[in-house]
Amino acid sequence: MTAHLVRILDRVTRVRGVRGAMLVAAEDGLVIAESLMEGVRGNALAALAAALAGRLGRAAAATGVGSATFVHLEAARGALLLVPAGQGVLLVTITDAGVNLGLARLEMLRAVAEVA
């Protein structure tokens, strides 16, 4: 089962500029499956991404835009991308600054469809 999930994550990590992808239990902030490059702290990524998703979800609900389908945190040296995968699971991707955002987003949405 885990191998199957990692294969799905590899679709995302194949995109140039992606440093890692993981499936995270959104409520707990714990790793379910991961495919990470050297130097990426998986437990930190999982916990922080889940916390951020929670905060943004509450803000989105208050504005009336509904539940988030894609989140992009843009920063000086990279980005964090989040896509809900259903059943309290988040697909989280961490990237370099120069990543092809459109491609990464597409692969994440396809990956989520396979996880569901």
Partner 1 sequence: MTDDIRALTAELARDPNSLAFLRLAEALRLREQLDAAATVVLAGLERHPDLADAHDLYARILADAGSLDAAREAWERAFALDSRHVGTLKGLAYLAFCDGDLDGALDRLESALGVDPTDESVVQALQTVREEAERRLAEGRLRAGTDIFAGFEGAEHGLLLADRRGLVLGGALRSVAGGDVAEEVAAYVAGAAQEAERTARLLDLGDWSAIVVEGAAGHLHLSAPAPEALLLVKRDRAVPPGRVALLARRAAATARGWLEAQRG
Partner 2 sequence: MRRARVIEPWLREPLERFLGETGARLALLMTPAGQVLAQYGFVRAVDVMAAAALGAGIAASTGELARMLEERSFRALNHQSPRHGIFLAQFDSPRGALLALVVYGPDSSIGLVQLFFEELVGDLAQAAPPASRDAPALAADFERDLNGSLATLFR
The 54-93 contact track toward partner 2, x by CB under 8 A, reads x---------------------------------------
From the CB of 16, what's the least distance to partner 2, in Å?
29
**Range 10-29, binding partner 2 (CB under 8 A):** 24-25, 27-29
Which of the choices partner 1, partner 2, none does residue 10 contact, using the CB cut-off of 5 to 8 A by kind? none
Q: Is 48 in the site for partner 2 (CB under 8 A)?
A: yes
Kindly report the CA angle at 94 between 90 and 96, in degrees rounded to 5?
160
Phi, psi angles (nearest 5°) of residue 7: -60, -40
> Which amino acid is residue 114, in one-letter code?
E
CB of 91 to partner 1, least distance (A): 14
Whole-angstrom distance, CA of residue 16 vs CA of residue 47: 24
Give yes or no for a contact between 4 and 111, defined as CB atoms under 8 angstroms apart. Answer: no
In this structure, are residues 35 and 8 in contact, taking their beta carbons and an 8 Å threshold? no
In this chain, which of 43, 61, 65, 98 binds partner 2, going by CB under 8 A?
43
In which residue are the tokens 């885990």 written?
A: 2
Q: Which residues are at the interface with partner 2 (CB under 8 A)?
A: 24-25, 27-30, 43-44, 46-48, 50-51, 54
